[in-house]
A and B are shown apart, each in its own frame.
Chain A
Amino acid sequence: MESVNELVTILPAIIIGFAGLLVMMLDAYIENVRLVFRTTTLFTLGALGIAINDMFGHSGEAFYGLITYGGTAAFGAVLVLIGTLVTVILSRDYLEKTGSHIAEVYSMILFGTFGMLILVSANNLVTLFLGIETMSICLYVLAGLVKNEKKGVEAALKYFLLGAFSTGFLLYGMALLYGASGSTFLTDIATLDDKGMIYWAGVALLLVGFFFKISAVPFHMWTPDVYQGAPTTITAYMATASKSAAFVAFIFVLSRALPEARAEWGDVIWLFSILTMVIGNVLALVQDNVKRMLAYSSIAHAGYILIGLAAGTDAAYSAVLFYLFAYTLMNLGAFGIVAYYEWHKGLDFTEVKNYAGLGFKQPVMGVLMSIFLFSMVGIPPFAGFIGKYRVFAAAVDEGLISLVVVGVLASAASVYYYLRVLINLYMHESDPGITLIRPGVLYSATLIILAALTIYFGVKPGDLTNLLGSFKGISY
């Protein structure tokens, strides 16, 4: 019975893993893509419901402490599952319209999500490594989903080679930390007294590995290429679910395994945060391709999130979690709209100038895009503003004034490239020959819900921030 209880402890991950296997079998024996899609949606929805319920108090250990679940980990699971659910729903229409709707997509997404769920609840270097790799290997496959699309396959190759490279650093860091402390448990590594050179080399390599996964400058080279080349809804998945999972795991590693070295890694993250914000925003300014612009914007967002990690207090961590939530909502939405414009085969909607006048052709989509982009800029009353405000406020409390100044200036610069999309959508004359397809009910309803949540948590963030603030006792 003990083992059954342990399975129940991380029920969302078990459900998703089971659903992945089930969907794979369904595809092999029944070959009905619609059925596979429905099964995937249903199981993801169930897992999301359970994960949301788990945020309120359910917590526990499983598998001899390899997994700890509850509080922050449950919130990470919620973020990952929101990303997965929206990706699955948007992918169906997008892949059908672009003519590459194959059922394997859903099982790969589910297995990737399983890896992310393990990653957010990992309390040991072994589970951490397995979570990251299960997630990454599925993402390599998903990036190269369309086999005869040159750019997609190229993106997959670049992602794969740099991913394998960064795995080497991550694993070397883990090996050295294990060598220094003699244990693979995060909490045991924290109790180490004698910190020699092996320990510090391990910390440095582990940070490099994580910086690759969260695409901090200068380890961001793969991000724009992969985000541009991969199918757009899959890009949304990589940009939101996998990044949220990596950030939650990063918080756990920093707060559980390396709390005593906070002064040292605080300085390192301070530096990388500034680099990421400045370079991410500056390069986003010069992009003409919308997906590539959003890729650089997600790098810039990683920079803002790193401000919170550099502050390293409980308040800062809960601000980071809120930021990740807002980031997930608005990025899923923005990539969803970009994917919608890409439905139109034969029309080229990759460059920002081709968006001219589209805002009036399908007014709902135009308005939704405006909401998501304004939220990314950080304009009230959207959730992106609250996220930025809380991260900056937590950093000011820790005396990181210079970091906040750079952050505010960088997000002021970001107004240019976000508004450029809107100016094209609304203020330029459109080509009268273009007619846009009406999006399906499910597709537009999903995007409308995302926009509604963006506004709701921008106007009334109190409940969520209180909940996130209450996590510190059980999770760090």
Chain B
Amino acid sequence: MELDWYLSLSAVLFTIGVIGVLTRKNAIVVFMCAELMLNSVNLTLVSFSAQHGDVHGQILVFFSLCVAAAEAAVGLAIIIAIFRNHLTVDISQINLLRW
């Protein structure tokens, strides 16, 4: 198995996620990019797990999927609350708190 390919793919996906979080303005897109980061890590874990012939990595993937689901539930609720208060989800316009 060519481990390097899997690792490179997940590193590229992770980087796309980081760049997305740092540059995008829409809260939902930012959140999707954060989820992309988590899922690219899951890919890393699964490929290491297969490489080592060890199941612990895949167990961690299951937990990280659960956490991502819980985070999505809370996150989307927060984004709805933001929209009700500010009538926008553009994070550059949500700036009552600064410095």
Contacts and interface: CB of A to CB of B under 8 A. Distances in A.
Interface in B1-55: 7, 14, 17-18, 21, 27, 30-31, 34-35, 37-38, 40-41, 44-45, 48, 51-52, 54
Contact of B78 (A125, A144, A182): A144
A184 B57 CA distance: 8
The 10 A-B pairs with the shortest beta carbon distances in the complex, nearest first, are A168-B37, A179-B48, A164-B34, A225-B97, A175-B44, A182-B52, A133-B67, A171-B41, A184-B56, A175-B45
Contacts of B37: 165, 168-169, 172
B45 A178 contact: yes
24 contacts: A130-B67, A133-B71, A140-B78, A144-B81, A151-B97, A154-B94, A154-B97, A155-B97, A156-B81, A157-B78, A157-B79, A161-B30, A161-B31, A164-B35, A167-B34, A167-B71, A169-B37, A171-B38, A172-B40, A172-B41, A175-B44, A175-B45, A182-B52, A183-B56
Contacts of A168: 14, 17-18, 34, 37-38, 41
Instruction: Specify which of A125, A126, A175 lies most central, judged by the most chain B CB atoms within 10 Å of its CB.
Output: A175
A158 interface: yes
A174 interface: yes
A137 interface: yes
Nearest to B17: A168
A137 B56 contact: no
Nearest to B54: A182
A156 B83 CA distance: 13
Instruction: Specify which of A141, A144, A164 lies most central, judged by the most chain B CB atoms within 10 Å of its CB.
Output: A164
Contacts of A228: 97
B27 A157 contact: yes
B56 A126 contact: yes
Instruction: Specify which of A141, A157, A161 lies most central, judged by the most chain B CB atoms within 10 Å of its CB.
Output: A157
Nearest to A177: B48
A129 interface: yes
Given A154-B86, A165-B34, 13 more contacts: A140-B75, A150-B85, A151-B97, A161-B27, A161-B75, A165-B21, A168-B17, A168-B41, A175-B41, A175-B60, A178-B48, A178-B56, A182-B52
Contacts of B57: 175, 178-179, 184
Interface string A145-159: 001101101111110
A184 B78 contact: no
Nearest to A153: B81
A140 B56 CA distance: 29
Contacts, number: 129
Interface in A372-398: none
A160 interface: yes
Given A133-B71, A179-B51, A158 B97 contact: yes
B21 A167 contact: no
Contact of B60 (A129, A140, A225): A129
Contacts of A140: 74-75, 78
A126 B48 CA distance: 15
Given A129-B63, A164-B34, A157 B94 contact: yes
Nearest to A124: B56
B64 to A, nearest CB: 6
Instruction: Specify which of A137, A151, A168, A182 lies most central, judged by the most chain B CB atoms within 10 Å of its CB.
Output: A168
Contacts of B63: 126, 129-130
Contacts of A183: 54, 56
Nearest to A166: B34
Interface in A175-232: 175-176, 178-179, 182-184, 224-225, 228-229
A157 B83 CA distance: 11
A386 B82 CA distance: 43
Contacts of A178: 45, 48, 56-57, 60
A107 to B, nearest CB: 14
B57 to A, nearest CB: 6
B82 A153 contact: yes
B41 to A, nearest CB: 5
B21 to A, nearest CB: 5
B59 A141 contact: no
Interface in B66-82: 67, 70-71, 74-75, 78-79, 81-82
A176 B17 CA distance: 17
B78 A160 contact: yes
Contacts of A167: 34, 38, 67, 71
Contacts of B85: 148, 150, 153-154
B96 A154 contact: yes
B96 A151 contact: yes
